[in-house]
Amino acid sequence: MNVFNQLSIWLSFQLSIIFLIGIPITLTFWSIKKRNKAVNKLLSIYWKISLLFFISLLLLIGKYNYALAITNISTLLMTVSVWFWNDINDELREYDFSYYLTTATKIWRWTITFISLNFLIQSLLNFNCFSFINSDTCAIWLQPSSNLYIFIKNLFNFFFGANFTQPIAKYLGLFSLLIYILGLIQWSIIKLPKNGRNSYFSKNGRN
C-alpha cells in the first residue's frame, strides 16, 4: 500500500471524526438552544442510526474480518438518514441563508454525503479488506481505532478494575450488532409502512 493511499485513509478517518461526530454534537446543542424541532428531530434520528458506526469501531478494535464492510454500511445509513424525511426536508427549505442553524445543517448534510462516498471509494480500492481485515495490506484500516482502544482500555480498567481486550471488543461489537439489526428490522416492518418518509417532528406543533 503506497504512502498516498495510507494518507488518504488516515485523512478519511480524521474527517469522519469531525463531520460524523464533532459537528453533529455541535448542531444538536445548537438546535436545542434554538428550539428548532426539525433539526433536533433530524439529529435525534441521526444519532440512533450512527450507533452502527460506533459498533463498527468496536469490531475494528476486535479485528473482526467484516468490520470495514459494516463501517461502510454505517456511513451510508447515516447519509440516508439525514436526507430521507420529507417533512424535515420541506421545513429546511423554508429557511433562507440568514438562519445559520439550518444553513449549517444543510452544508453538513452535503459534507457527510461526500465523506461517505469518499470512504466507500477508499475501501473499494482495498476490496480484500472487506472480508479479511487482518491481512498485512489492511493494517492501515486498523490504526485509527488503536487510539480508541487505548482510551476504552484505560476507562474500562479505571471503572471496573479489569482489562479490556480485543476479544472483548469483538464480542461486545457483535452482540451490539445483533441488537441493532433486530431494532432496524422492527422499524422496517412496523414503523416504516405506517409512517413512511415522515418523521412527524411537528406532531406537537411547528417551531
The amino acid occupying position 48 is K
Nearest Cα to 17, choosing from 49, 51, 53, 66? 53
- Contact in structure between 120 and 16 (CB atoms under 8 Å): no
- pLDDT for the residue numbered 142: 82
Between helix 144-160 and helix 166-186 the angle, nearest 10°, is: 100
List the domain boundaries for the chain: 3-195
- pLDDT for the residue numbered 202: 76
**What are 63-106's pLDDT values in tens digits?**
999 999 999 999 999 999 999 999 999 999 998 888 899 999 99
**What are 133-144's pLDDT values in tens digits?**
888 888 888 877
**In the structure, what pLDDT confidence band is assigned to residue 205 with cuts at 50, 70 and 90?**
very low
The CA angle 201-100-31, to the nearest 5 degrees, is: 35
For residue 8, is pLDDT > 90?
no
- pLDDT for the residue numbered 3: 67
pTM for the predicted model, two decimal places: 0.89
Provide the phi-psi class of 161: left if phi over 0, else alpha when psi is between -120 and 50, else beta. Answer: left
What is the distance of C-alpha 146 from the center of its chain? 18
- 116 vs 79: CA distance, rounded Å: 7
- pLDDT for the residue numbered 16: 83
- pLDDT for the residue numbered 15: 82
For residue 132, is pLDDT > 50?
yes
Grid coordinates belonging to 184: 432496524
